[in-house]
């Protein structure tokens, strides 16, 4: 009960409903002109069904109550039936409305708008055909039971049914329109309003004409009625039907219409009237529904067309339509923007659109192939697919992927070609960039100059090129089996590897190139230079570059060995040249002087012969004499060079100490001394003053004296020790070289040139040594060494410090 | 001695010496060709004349004494050695191997020219001997096989009878062969034929003494 109460419609609505119901009853009463029947068009049935169709079901009791009150009131005013009969009749009407609404609501989509033909037909059949059966049955039974107006059940039933049906057909649409557009504002243009007014006038005029004469004339109203239905659809039909019903009623009541007549024929005319109204309503509603449906379809089509057109222009693809012969007929917005021209721009005299399109829009290199492929597709009907370059509006060429597909009819003939061009320029650029880069990388990896390895931070080698595998002599299968850096790292590198290198990679993303070693598969070691870097954005993996240093290391070692050998050879050479004895020196000097002398002698003889010849050959003699002079000068030059060599040169005097020169001389003679099993003892006084001397010359003197001493001892028995003593004596530093040999028999002669006691000597050594020492401002002499042997002594003056 | 019937080869690395020697030889009206090294001398195209080789001991490419040993096998001209500082052992060695002289620079005009003239004379003699031998060999090649069998028997002093018995031929036949041999070998007498056989080094296999015993 509470439920029903809470669904009470607004009182205003209930009131209006009640008023309209009573009005409908009045209208029916006024039309019930058939004597003795009281049955006529029953508008409340339409109102009731329309109301219940739109109302929610819980509120139905309220409407039924209102309807009951209205009908009882109308009965009180006009029908004057007994209250039980009136109530029964009302019950029939309420049942009819409930059944109709129930059937309509159950069949049609809510809210009921009657916009399609199906809906209208369903409404007509269910609401106007089936529902009135209930009220007609109940009402006719009631009339017959109460014996009112002398009606039989069968006599009253058809009238009752058709009256209710007509009421539903005429009033229900109007009611639906009124209910649903109660608050809506009509949105009609001025032209429509004018059309509506003109139509209304025509309708009224035709109605006035048609309803005032012969029965079939009444149907002249049909064209305006259908016009209203077509142009204004359901609303127009509803209003026109209402007007028609009212006009018909007015004319019939006033007796001016063909439906009014004498009482005998009144019953048939009443049926005719109701049929006329029912047919009109039926036709108008059907036409309105068809019109509505058509309009809806048109609107839908327009909308989808607009959407399609928007879609075609919005898709990021250039679209073209071609006629079956390949002539372009349509370009979409994107294609127009891309090419900077529309289909119509291709119309040029003397050439087809297709040729003009190919000529203006394609890259010259692609045009021929494109035209050929297109011709092939057009001839065979096969789809066309090609990548080519299109010339853009700005003159640039862009790569596009072009597809042209045929639209076929049922016979398989081409109706139209649809072409799309997808811009793949960026893709193509990207592809070519990527391909180029890939090729570069591939070249780098395959170049086999350096080893390249892709690794991950777990220390696994994921990929390696042949150069690397060759370097470490592993196979590709080892790599696939999960080779790790750690396995290849010698123990002393392992800690560095696991700690420093991994850390460096983690923090900086790369590993500076460094030299290290790896184990080869066979356990031998390979020295390498390795650098690595993580891949950007994917720090778990990276690349390493490895250079085999074996050859370089070998070359370095070889170079070091060669350098060492060279150094030793140089040392040896230096020692040999420094140790060259003065006798060898003299031999070479002799040779240098002897050659020009020999030439001079020979030339002199020749010269003499030329002059003493008969007659004397003076020319040849002159030439020969010239040669004599030249060769003599050459000999003199040799002599002066030798002089220059032993001349005291201040510049050449070095700051070397005497003790270091002595040490050098001892080292130079060490080998010879060892051969002769002679020991050289050196005794140098501390704090010797500086002496100025020519390093090479004094070394020569020392070597000469030491060798003399050693040679003296070589043939003698007894002690084999050579003493070298250096001490200060006044303003000079004195160096003594003592041997234990045979001694010097003729101390005065030994310094003379060419005096020698040796088997192979030339007698120059001591002479030159003395001249060297004397050129330094010192003296060289020999003394007897006790108990045997000789001592050679030379002095060098202490340097006088003139400047400091 | 004229310019055309001899030649002197000089090998010395010192251009001054080469020049002076050539000049000296020219003043003595002698022809000379000078070479800077032993290699140049060996590879040079040399005229086929009586010659003398004046060779410096101290050469840049090879020691003169070694060169002497190398060319000893062939027909090479006699050598006069020059040296800057001669020592006795090498001079002895050089002379033993057939050097004409071993002179120390500077050398005297007379010593050198004497040595060169001696050398050329030696070469001339050697050459004429070689030419004579060549003629004898040609003549010997002209003998028939039987005559070649007869020759050693005749020069070994066998009597005709003995020689004929040796070869199993008649004495008369042998005499014919003997006369032919004398003729072909251009021997004036048996003594001459014996000398020729000696020069040709024809072995003597028989002797009358051996036969007699």
- Asked if A627's CB is within 8 angstroms of B105's CB, the reply is no
CATH number of B142-212: 1.10.10.10
ipTM passes above 0.90: no
- Looking at the fold, whether A597 and A489 belong to one and the same domain comes out as no
Its sign, for the CA torsion B37, B40, B42, B44, is: negative
Q: Which of B122, B107, B34, B36 is nearest to B75 (CA)?
A: B122
Beta-carbon separation of A594 and B105 below 8 A: yes
Q: Which residue has the higher pLDDT, A251 or A709?
A: A709
How much is the average pLDDT of B118-141?
A: 88
Lowest mean pLDDT: which of A321-325, A474-478, A574-578, B127-131? A574-578
- Taking only the tens place, the pLDDT of each residue in B157-191 is 888 888 888 888 888 998 999 899 888 888 888 88
Backbone torsion region of residue A453, taken as left when φ is above 0, otherwise alpha when ψ lies between -120 and 50, otherwise beta:
beta
Same domain, A157 and A285: yes
Domain-embedded: residue A307: no
Q: Which helix (H) or strand (E) holds A29?
A: helix A11-31
* Over residues A53-71, mean pLDDT: 86
Q: Does B111 touch chain A (CB under 8 A)?
A: no
pLDDT value at residue A794? 92
What's the rounded Cα separation, in Å, for the pair A34 and A42?
14
User: Which residues of chain A does B114 touch, with a Cβ-Cβ cutoff of 8 Å?
Assistant: none
List, in sequence order, the alpha helices (H) in A315-424. Answer: 333-339, 353-361, 364-380
**Does the pLDDT at position B3 exceed 60?**
no
Q: Please report the pLDDT score of residue A803 as a whole number.
A: 43
- The top-scoring range by mean pLDDT among A348-357, A448-457, B176-185 is B176-185
A786 — alpha (psi -120 to 50), left (phi > 0) or beta? Answer: beta
CA distance A101 to A179: 15
Residue ranges of domains in chain B: 7-129, 142-212
Average pLDDT over residues A84-106: 87
Asked whether the predicted pLDDT for residue A539 surpasses 80, the reply is: no
Chain A interface test: which of B8, B10, B15, B16 (most A C-beta within 10 Å): B16
Asked whether residue A346 is domain-assigned, the answer is: yes
Contact A599 B16 (CB under 8 A): yes
Residues of A in contact with B24 (CB under 8 A): 602-603, 605-606, 609
Option in A597, A599, A609 nearest B28 (CB): A609
Question: Domain count of chain A?
Answer: 5
Q: Where are the alpha helices (DSSP H) in B28-108?
A: 38-43, 64-71, 88-96
Q: Which two tokens stand for residue A469?
A: 């595998």
Q: In this structure, are A660 and A641 located in the same domain? A: no
In angstroms, the Cα distances linking A724 to A680, A684, A741, A745, A769 are: 7, 8, 15, 21, 17
Global pTM? 0.41
Share of chain A above pLDDT 90, in %: 2
Name chain B contacts of A607, Cβ cutoff 8 Å.
27
SS3 A551: helix
Q: Does B209 touch chain A (CB under 8 A)?
A: no
Find chain B residues with C-beta within 8 A of A610's C-beta: 27
Predicted pLDDT at B213? 37
User: Can you tell me the distance from the alpha carbon of A96 to that of A128, in angstroms, rounded to the nearest whole number?
Assistant: 10
Q: What is the DSSP string of A151-200?
A: --HHHHHHHHHHHHHHHHHHHHHHHHHHHHTSSPPP---HHHHHHHHHHH
In a mutational test of the A interface, the residue from B24, B36, B104, B113 whose CB has the highest number of chain A CBs within 10 Å is B24
Mean pLDDT, range A659-671, rounded to an integer: 84
Are B19 and A594 an interchain contact pair (Cβ–Cβ within 8 Å)?
no
Contact between B85 and A627 using a beta-carbon 8 Å cutoff: no
Place of tokens 């209003």: A239
For chain A, say whether B60 makes contact (Cβ under 8 Å).
Answer: no
Q: Which of A105-114, A236-245, A551-560, A688-697 has the highest mean pLDDT?
A: A551-560
Looking at the domain assignment, is residue A462 inside a domain?
Answer: yes
B56 vs chain A: nearest CA distance in angstroms?
11
Of B14, B24, B26, the CB nearest to A595: B14
Vertex A252: Cα angle to A250 and A253 (nearest 5): 65
Place of tokens 């209304």: A200
Most confident listed range (A534-543, A579-588, A691-700)? A691-700
Q: Which residues of B touch A589 (CB under 8 A)?
A: none
Q: Are residues A416 and A540 in the same domain?
A: no
The reply to whether residue B20 touches residue A590, judged by beta carbons under 8 angstroms, is: no
Peptide bond into B106 cis (omega under 30): yes
The predicted model gives A301-329 an average pLDDT of 86
Mean pLDDT to the nearest integer, B112-138: 89
Percent of chain A residues topping a pLDDT of 70: 88
| CA–CA distance, A394 with A330 (Å, rounded to integer) | 21
The alpha carbon dihedral of A257, A258, A261, A266 has a sign of negative
- pLDDT by residue (tens digit) across A146-205? 877 666 788 788 888 888 888 888 888 888 877 777 655 556 678 888 888 888 888 888
Based on the fold, state whether residues A58 and A181 are members of the same structural domain.
Answer: yes
Percent of chain B whose predicted confidence (pLDDT) is above 70: 93
Chain A contact for B24 (CB, 8 A cutoff):
yes
Cβ atoms of A691 and A798 within 8 Å: the answer is yes
Interacting residues of A535 by C-beta distance below 8 A, sequence separation 6+: A541, A542, A543
pLDDT in tens, A250-271: 777 776 666 665 666 666 777 7
R_g over Cα of chain A: 70
Domain boundary among A294, A323, A349: A294
Tokens 């880069």: give the residue: A437
Residue B20 to residue A603, Cβ atoms within 8 A = yes
Q: Least CA distance to B18: which residue of chain A?
A: A599
pLDDT at A652 over 60: no
**Which residues of chain A have a CB within 8 Å of the CB of B84?**
590-591, 594-595, 598
Kindly state the average pLDDT of the residues A308-327: 84
CB pairs under 8 A between A and B: 80
Contact (Cβ atoms closer than 8 angstroms) between residue A90 and residue A255 = no
Decide if B144 contacts B156 (C-beta within 8 A): no
What are A213-229's pLDDT values in tens digits?
666 677 778 888 888 88
In A, which residues are within 8 Å of B26 by CB distance?
606, 620
- Residue after which a domain boundary falls, among A646, A676, A693: A646
* Nearest-by-Cβ selection for A590 from B14, B85, B112: B85
* C-alpha to C-alpha distance for A380 and B27, rounded to whole angstroms: 113
B109 touches chain A (CB under 8 A): yes
- Measured between beta carbons, the chain B residues lying within 8 angstroms of A605 are 24, 27, 108-109
CA dihedral A45, A48, A51, A56 (to 10 degrees): -130
Same domain, A19 and A109: yes
Task: Tell me whether residues A609 and B106 touch, CB distance under 8 A.
Answer: no
Binary contact (B107, A601; C-beta < 8 A): yes
Q: What is the CATH number of the domain that holds A778?
A: 3.30.565.10
Last residue of a domain, one of A646, A680, A695: A646
**How far, CA to CA in Å, does A482 sit from each of A455, A458, A461, A476, A477?**
11, 11, 7, 10, 9
In a domain, A631, yes or no: yes
Q: Do B27 and A613 touch (CB under 8 A)?
A: yes
- Tell me the per-residue pLDDT of A764-795, one tens digit each, with 9 for 90 and over: 778 888 888 888 888 888 888 877 888 999 99
CATH class of B7-129: alpha beta
Say whether residue B17 is in contact with chain A using an 8 A CB cutoff. yes
pLDDT surpasses 90 at A452: no
Residues A126 and A102 reside in one and the same domain: yes
Closest Cβ opposite residue A602 in set B20, B58, B84: B20
HSE-up (13 A, CA, CB side) for residue A405: 5
Residue among A583, A584, A596, A599 with most chain B CBs within 10 A, to mutate: A599
pLDDT band at A654 (very low <50, low <70, confident <90, very high): low
Which tokens go with A167? 């009421």
Closest residue in chain A to residue B109, using alpha carbons only: A605
The Cα B177–Cα A603 span in angstroms is 64
A155 and A223 in a single domain? The answer is yes
Task: Among A590, A596, A617, select the one facing B16 at the smallest CB separation.
Answer: A596
A488-500 per-position pLDDT tens digit: 888 887 777 777 7
User: Hey, which residues does A421 pair with through a beta bridge?
Assistant: A318, A402
Mutate to test the interface with B, among A589, A597, A598 (most CBs of B within 10 A): A598
**Within an 8 Å CB–CB cutoff, is residue B19 touching chain A?**
yes
Looking at residues A636-648, what average pLDDT do you find?
Answer: 70
pLDDT reading at A1 higher than 70 = no
Q: In angstroms, rounded to a whole number, what is the distance separating the alpha carbons of residues A365 and A382?
A: 23
Q: Within this chain, do residues A732 and A755 fall inside the same structural domain, yes or no? A: yes
- Give residue B45's pLDDT band: very low, low, confident or very high (50, 70, 90): confident
Same domain, yes or no, for A154 and A81? Answer: yes
- CATH number for the domain including A525? 3.30.450.20
**In terms of pLDDT, which residue wins out, A14 or A497?**
A14
Residue A610 and residue B27: Cβ atoms within 8 Å?
yes
Place of tokens 């149907």: A219
Identify the helix (H) or strand (E) that includes residue A414: strand A414-423
Residue A259 CA: distances (Å) to CA of A40, A274, A276, B198 = 13, 9, 10, 190
Same domain? A523 vs A631: no
Q: Is residue A501 part of a domain?
A: yes
pLDDT band per the 50, 70, 90 thresholds, residue A341: confident
pLDDT for A302 equals 93
Choose among B20, B84, B107: nearest Cβ to A627: B20
Q: How far is A790 from chain B (nearest CA, A)?
A: 31
The residue segments making up the domain with residue A13 are 2-294
Residue A804 lies in a domain: no
What pLDDT score was predicted for residue B206? 64
Contact A605 B27 (CB under 8 A): yes
Spell out which residues of chain A touch residue B16, defining contact as CB-CB under 8 Å: 595-596, 599, 627, 631, 634
* Nearest alpha carbon to residue B60 among B7, B107, B15, B23: B15
Same-domain pairing of A47 and A173: yes
Q: What is the mean pLDDT of chain A?
A: 81
Averaged pLDDT, B66-81:
82
Q: What is the DSSP letter of B202?
A: P
- pLDDT value for B211: 45
| CB within 8 Å of A690: residues ≥ 6 apart | A655, A657, A798, A799
Q: How far is B3 from chain A (nearest CA, A)?
A: 16
């Amino acid at each position: 009960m509470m439920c029903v109460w809470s669904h009470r419609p607004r009182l205003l609505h209930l009131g209006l409903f009640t008023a309209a119901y009573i009005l409908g009853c009045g209208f029916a009463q006024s039309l019930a002109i058939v004597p003795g029947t009281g049955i006529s068009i029953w508008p409340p049935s339409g109102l009731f069904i329309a109301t219940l169709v739109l109302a929610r079901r819980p509120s139905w009791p309220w409407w039924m109550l209102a309807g009951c009150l209205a009908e009882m009131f109308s009965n009180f005013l006009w029908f004057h039936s007994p209250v039980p009969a009136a109530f029964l009749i009302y019950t029939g009407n309420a049942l009819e409305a409930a059944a109709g609404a129930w059937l309509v609501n159950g069949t049609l989509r809510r809210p009921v708008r009657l916009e399609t033909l199906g809906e209208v037909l369903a409404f007509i059949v269910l609401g106007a055909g089936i529902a009135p059966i209930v009220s007609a049955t109940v009402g006719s039974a009631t009339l017959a039971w109460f014996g009112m107006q002398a009606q039989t059940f069968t006599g009253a039933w058809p009238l009752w049914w058709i009256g209710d049906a007509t009421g539903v057909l005429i009033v229900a649409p109007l009611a639906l329109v009124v209910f649903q557009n109660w608050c809506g504002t009509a949105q009609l243009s001025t032209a429509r309003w004018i059309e509506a007014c003109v139509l209304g006038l025509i309708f009224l005029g035709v109605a006035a004409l048609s309803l005032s004469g012969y029965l079939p004339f009444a149907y002249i109203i049909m064209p305006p009625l259908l016009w209203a239905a077509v142009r204004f659809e359901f609303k127009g039909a509803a209003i026109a039907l209402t007007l028609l019903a009212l006009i018909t009623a007015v004319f019939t009541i006033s007796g001016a219409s063909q439906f009014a007549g004498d009482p005998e024929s009144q019953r048939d005319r009443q049926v005719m009237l109701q049929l006329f109204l029912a047919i009109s309503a039926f036709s108008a509603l059907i036409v309105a529904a068809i019109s509505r449906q058509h309009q809806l379809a048109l609107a839908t089509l327009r909308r989808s067309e607009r959407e399609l057109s928007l879609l075609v222009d919005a898709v990021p693809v250039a679209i073209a339509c071609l006629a079956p012969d390949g002539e372009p007929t349509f370009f979409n917005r994107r294609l127009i923007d891309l090419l900077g021209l529309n289909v119509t721009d291709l119309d040029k005299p003397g050439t087809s659109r297709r040729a003009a399109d190919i000529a203006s829009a394609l890259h010259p290199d692609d045009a021929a192939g494109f035209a050929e492929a297109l011709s092939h597709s057009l001839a065979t009907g096969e789809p066309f697919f090609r990548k080519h370059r299109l010339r853009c509006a700005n003159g640039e060429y862009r790569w596009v992927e072009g597809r042209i597909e045929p639209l076929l009819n049922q016979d398989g003939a081409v109706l139209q070609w649809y072409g799309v061009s997808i811009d793949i320029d960026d893709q193509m650029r990207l592809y070519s960039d990527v391909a180029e880069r890939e090729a570069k990388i591939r070249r780098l990896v395959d170049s086999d100059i350096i080893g390249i390895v892709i690794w991950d931070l777990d220390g696994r080698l994921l990929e390696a090129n042949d150069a690397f595998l060759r370097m470490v002599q592993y196979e590709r299968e080892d790599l696939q089996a999960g080779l790790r850096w750690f396995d290849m790292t010698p123990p002393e590198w392992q800690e560095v590897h696991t700690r420093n290198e991994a850390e460096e990679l983690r923090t900086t993303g790369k590993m500076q190139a460094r030299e290290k070693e790896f184990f080869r598969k066979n356990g031998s070691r390979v020295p390498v230079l390795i650098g690595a870097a993580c891949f950007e954005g994917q720090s778990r993996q990276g690349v390493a570059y490895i250079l085999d240093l074996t050859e370089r290391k070998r070359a370095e070692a070889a170079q070091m060995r060669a350098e060492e050998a060279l150094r030793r050879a140089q040392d040896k050479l230096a020692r040999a040249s420094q140790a060259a004895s003065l006798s060898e020196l003299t031999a070479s000097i002799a040779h240098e002087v002897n050659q020009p002398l020999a030439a001079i002698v020979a030339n002199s003889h020749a010269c003499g012969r030329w002059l003493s010849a008969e007659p004397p050959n003076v020319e040849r003699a002159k030439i020969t004499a010239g040669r004599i002079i030249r060769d003599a000068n050459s000999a003199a030059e040799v002599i002066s060079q030798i002089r220059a060599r032993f001349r005291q040169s201040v510049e050449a005097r070095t700051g070397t100490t005497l003790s270091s020169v002595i040490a050098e001389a001892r080292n130079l003679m060490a080998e010879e001394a060892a051969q002769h099993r002679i020991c050289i003892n050196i005794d140098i006084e501390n704090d010797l003053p500086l002496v100025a001397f020519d390093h090479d010359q004094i070394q020569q003197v020392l070597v000469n004296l030491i060798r003399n001493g050693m040679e003296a001892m070589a043939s003698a028995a007894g002690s084999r020790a050579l003493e070298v003593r250096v001490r200060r004596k006044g303003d000079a530093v004195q160096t003594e070289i003592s041997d234990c040999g045979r001694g010097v028999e003729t101390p005065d002669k030994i310094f003379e040139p060419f005096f020698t006691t040796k088997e192979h000597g030339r007698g120059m050594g001591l002479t030159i040594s003395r001249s060297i020492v004397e050129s330094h401002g010192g003296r060289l002499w020999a003394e007897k060494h006790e108990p045997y042997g000789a001592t050679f002594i030379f002095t060098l003056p202490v340097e006088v410090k003139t400047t400091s | 001695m004229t310019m055309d019937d001899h030649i002197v080869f000089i090998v010395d690395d010192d251009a001054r010496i080469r020049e002076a020697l050539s000049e000296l030889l020219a003043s003595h009206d002698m022809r000379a060709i000078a070479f800077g090294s032993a290699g140049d001398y060996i590879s040079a195209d040399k005229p086929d004349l009586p010659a003398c080789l004046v060779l410096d001991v101290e050469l840049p490419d090879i020691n003169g004494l070694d060169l002497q040993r190398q060319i000893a096998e062939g027909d090479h001209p006699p050598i006069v050695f020059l040296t800057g500082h001669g020592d006795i052992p090498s001079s002895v060695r050089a002379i033993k191997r057939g050097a004409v002289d071993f002179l120390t620079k500077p050398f005297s005009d007379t010593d050198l020219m004497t040595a060169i003239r001696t050398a050329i004379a030696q070469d001339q003699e050697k050459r004429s001997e070689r030419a004579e031998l060549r003629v004898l060999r040609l003549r010997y090649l002209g003998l028939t096989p039987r005559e070649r069998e007869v020759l050693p028997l005749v020069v070994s002093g066998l009597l005709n009878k003995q020689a004929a018995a040796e070869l199993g031929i008649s004495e008369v036949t042998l005499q014919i062969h003997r006369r032919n041999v004398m003729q072909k070998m251009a021997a004036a007498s048996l003594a001459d034929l014996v000398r020729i056989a000696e020069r040709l080094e024809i072995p003597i296999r028989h002797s009358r003494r051996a036969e007699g015993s």
